[in-house]
Structure 1
């Protein structure tokens, strides 16, 4: 396995309900490791592209559990920071009848909001091919400054930088920052965007036909855009500046038909699939197909990290498709 990728952002506890329905009606939950960047990091490890992962947990039982999960996944502990002054973040998940999910976060001043600028030095970034960050850490200081600092220095070092807005309106309410303005600011600083129509709508970006939307986002800064559409698949668009295409192009994948059990983490699985494929030298079409398969397999089991497939499982799934 290689360590060509650095993922940065939150890891937290997802409490997954034992039955579908609103949180007020749920009696019991199962504890699972979660957090979008953490899911991406573990997903990459499962796909044999084990990244470095920079995150921060509390010096508490939940933090101990998460560090154990990350260790079991094969992630190096160099950038797994422990904060003795803040608690580990928590999220309670509710599941709809079609396995769609909503979150209630408990992470006010949690450890993951306290990432510190400069933690990843320039020498490490000079040896890193790809850096991935998410939008959640942009809602709180000092993690916001730390994330933007990492993005800027990674670009300066020549790394490809990818970004997932992961819009969570609850986390931005009452903050000093606007999600819409933040998205516009960071799009000018990243190479690859992975987003959903809901992410864009939350930022006030009009969405129409998916291919046209993806192409329009290229004008905002990134040279490659992946737009995921749930059960309807995904689209991608890239300019001639993208290293995986020789000219401006779009790609479409209609997705795979599965019986979903839990869609938690499916978007993160898609992101892991995209990064793994492109780091391995795939073109845009192959990366899109591979990422859709990774996401589809993930929805067939409960949990986010626990459902992330191996490369062999993805290959077997694709081989069974008509």
Structure 2
């Protein structure tokens, strides 16, 4: 398969609670496939932009379940690796009454920390137009080097690169390390998607999300997409951005009957990549990405709630 998008990062098991509340009060969990880059890859496939996906899971029952789930959702198996020496990462999710969630990870030395640099060859990158990575694989293990190596080589090859820091403080030794490593990644990145809180954690100052997003342009990217929850999203871009001139664009988002926000940001990322790959401008890109993200909140789970184009169209009508 000759895909023009490559997504790289973790695939893991999300255990979703039977009801909202702290983990100490939940007795039953439902197993689901998850991981931010995995969600982005599957969402792109649902939006008719099937990518290559580079990931690593354990050669264990959970890992084989994830491998089957990814291939069942049309992702090619070329870069889906089974690690015979490490387990698959597990994440227990809890929700509050509004659908917002928190995570408890079991990830010490697991397979997604063991991505190896060079697994995606330069010849593979020559056939790509876009590479997307997330921040979790930067947090520990050999995968940090592998992710930075992929971004550096993709940038050198003229491939458009995007990055979602996907801040999970429990996976990092401290905020300073998170900021330092992610700022290293930003040197090779064209497009960043982040929340206002993530932009602040990355060291970009400002009282508003818009101000922090403008600050992030100085770190390397030519485009910053910032999500603002129920308030929609904004985009800021420099002259170097191929899809617009400099300036700020915003979209108020769409109303949705929120059940579970897990994966909404990943759906937004996929919507944005798909729209930009189709040559849409930033205003239309935000509208489409917001609709994809909103649709993803209307059912439980991340991957299982990802919409196709018909669902996205119904959100926008």
User: TM > 0.5 between the two?
Assistant: yes
Counterpart in the other structure of 1:20: 20
Deviation per residue, 1:218-256 (Å, 9 max, x gap):
1111000000011111110011111111x2121101111
Give CA deviations for 1:109-159 in whole Å, capped at 9, x if unaligned.
000000000000011101100000000001112100000000011111111
Poorly superposed stretches of 4+, deviation over 4 Å: none
* Alignment correspondent of 1:259: 257
Cross-structure match for 1:314? 312
Q: Distance in 2 between matches of 1:101 and 1:198?
A: 15
Q: Secondary structure at 2:75's aligned position in 1? A: coil
Task: Give the TM-score normalised by the residue count of structure 2.
Answer: 0.97
1:304 and 2:302 aligned: yes
What is the total number of aligned residue pairs between the two structures?
Answer: 317
Aligned CA RMSD, in angstroms, stands at 1.4
1:38-187 to 2 correspondences below 5 Å: 38-173=38-173, 178-187=177-186
3-state DSSP class of the match of 2:226? strand
Q: Distance in 2 between matches of 1:225 and 1:205?
A: 12
Distance 1:115 1:184 in 2: 20
CA distance in 2, matches of 1:213, 1:260: 27
Pairing of 1:173-252 with structure 2 (within 5 A): 173=173, 178-245=177-244, 247-252=245-250
Instruction: State whether residues 204 and 216 of structure 2, in contact with CA within 8 Å, keep that contact through their aligned partners in structure 1.
Output: no
Measured in 1, the distance between the counterparts of 2:157 and 2:174 equals 35
Assess if the C-alpha contact under 8 Å between 1:200 and 1:207 holds in 2.
no
TM-score (norm 1): 0.96
Q: Is the 8 A contact 1:197 1:207 kept in 2?
A: no
**Which stretch has the larger CA shift, 184-193 or 103-112?**
184-193
For 2:180 and 2:293, the matched residues in 1 are separated by 29
Taking the aligned partners of 1:154 and 1:143, their CA distance within structure 2 comes to: 16
Alpha-carbon shift at residue 2 of structure 1 (Å)? 7.0
**Structure 1 residue 174, shift from structure 2 partner:** 7.3
- Ranges in structure 2 where 5+ consecutive residues have no aligned partner: none
Q: How far apart, in 2, do the equivalents of 1:237 and 1:202 lie?
A: 19
User: Is the partner of 1:178 in helix, strand or coil?
Assistant: helix
Structure 1 portions without partners, runs of 5+: none
Contact 1:224 1:237 in 2 (8 A): yes
